[in-house]
Amino acid sequence: MLAVAEMDPGISDDIVLRLASDRGSLLMTADKDFGELVFRQRRVTSGIVLMRLAGMNPIEKADVVAATVRSHADELAGAFTVITAKTVRVRRRFA
């Protein structure tokens, strides 16, 4: 596991996406800008999980993310997934 904040918090989203893709890693983020890179710019990704969990404490967020990964593990690779407190939406990048 790599944490951008620990590596270089100033690197661009483009580089973060490339690093994750090159490693075949699932990118977990709260940054909505990755949707722009994936859907409008058609950038390659190994999978992105966008966490929309504002207002939750870190323990609650971790529980929701862990439960999502457990229950949707087979669907996350290559998909753009949005997690909210009440829903999980898994969207394939290309139809």
**What are the tens digits of pLDDT across the range 9-48?**
789 999 999 999 999 999 999 999 998 888 888 888 899 9
Strand 48-52 to 27-29 pairing: parallel
Q: How many CA atoms lie within 13 A of 25 on its CB side?
A: 14
What is this structure's pTM? 0.87
**What are the tens digits of pLDDT across the range 39-57?**
888 888 899 999 999 999 9
* SS3 label, residue 80: strand
